């Protein structure tokens, strides 16, 4: 995520998603929207579903980058064999919203270096609350980390080219 959008954008998106899928009224709203419009299904990409729910930064470059990131999640693996990261998220949200007892949902991140896959767990992420959540965790790296990594690659490539010329 950090390679696509600013850290501040990533943070505000996490807040937005966790507010829209949170306990009580928000998750009830999502359940009703799913029932009426089937927003999350294999007919719609994660990008278009989030666009419909207006889960995005304000219009501008960051918004485009965010949507590009959602597209990119299709190239990420997930904790379910044969299912890419974006589809795993869509399937999880759909399954939960259509369940007889839907749980609130929480989006979080984990270091991509440790695990490149999108993971899903049922947990109690809020330590003082007994409420269970469906926790979706996406692999991410900080923006600076990604830029440093790219710079390292570029330097290594230049070195390689130089030594090849000699």
Partner 1 sequence: MHKNDVRTLDSIYRTIDDYYTKKVSQHGPTPLGVDWTCVATQELRFVQLLKVCSFNRPISLNDIGCGYGALLNYLSRRHAKAKIDYLGIDVSRAMIARARRMHAKRPKTRFLVDTASPRIADYSVASGIFNVKLRQDIKAWEHFIAKALIDLKETSRCGFAVNFMLPEERGHIPNRMLYRTKPERWVAFCEAELNCDVASVKGYGLREFTLLVRPTK
Q: Which of 6, 33, 83, 103 binds partner 1 (CB under 8 A)?
A: 33
Would you give the DSSP letter of residue 75?
A: G
Q: What share of the chain is helix, strand, coil (3-state, %, to 5)?
A: 50, 15, 35
C-beta atoms surrounding 106 within 10 Å: 20
Decide if residue 28 touches partner 1 (CB under 8 A).
yes
> Both tokens of residue 18?
């966790």
Task: List binders of partner 1 among 100-159 (CB under 8 A).
Answer: none
Decide if residue 31 touches partner 1 (CB under 8 A).
yes
Backbone angles phi, psi at 138, to 5 degrees: -110, 140
Our CB check for partner 1 shows the closer of 24 and 82 to be: 24
Our CB check for partner 1 shows the closer of 97 and 112 to be: 97
Q: Which of 12, 18, 29, 77 binds partner 1 (CB under 8 A)?
A: 29
Show the binding pattern over residues 52-71: x = contacts partner 1 (CB under 8 A), - = does not. Answer: xxxx----------------
**Distance from the Cα of residue 35 to its chain's centroid:** 23
Q: Which of 24, 60, 127, 130 binds partner 1 (CB under 8 A)?
A: 24
Decide if residue 48 touches partner 1 (CB under 8 A).
no
**CB neighbours of 34 closer than 8 A, spacing ≥ 6?**
40, 94, 97, 98
Q: Catalog residues that contact partner 1 under the rule CB under 8 A.
A: 24-25, 28-33, 35-37, 39, 52-55
């Amino acid at each position: 995520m950090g390679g696509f959008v600013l850290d501040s954008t990533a943070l505000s998106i996490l807040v937005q998603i966790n507010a829209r899928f949170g306990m009580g009224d928000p998750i009830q709203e999502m359940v009703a929207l799913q029932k009426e419009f089937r927003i999350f299904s294999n007919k719609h990409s994660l990008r278009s579903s989030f666009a419909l729910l207006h889960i995005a930064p304000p219009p501008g470059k960051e918004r485009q980058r965010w949507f590009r990131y959602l597209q990119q999640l299709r190239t990420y693996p997930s904790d379910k064999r044969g299912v890419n990261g974006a589809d795993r998220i869509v399937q999880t949200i759909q399954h939960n919203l259509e369940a007889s007892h839907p749980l609130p949902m929480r989006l979080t991140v984990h270091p991509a270096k440790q695990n490149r896959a999108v993971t899903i767990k049922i947990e109690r992420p809020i330590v003082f609350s007994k409420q269970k959540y469906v926790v979706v965790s996406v692999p991410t790296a900080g923006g600076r980390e990604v830029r440093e990594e790219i710079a390292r690659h570029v330097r290594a490539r230049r070195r390689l080219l130089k030594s090849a010329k000699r």
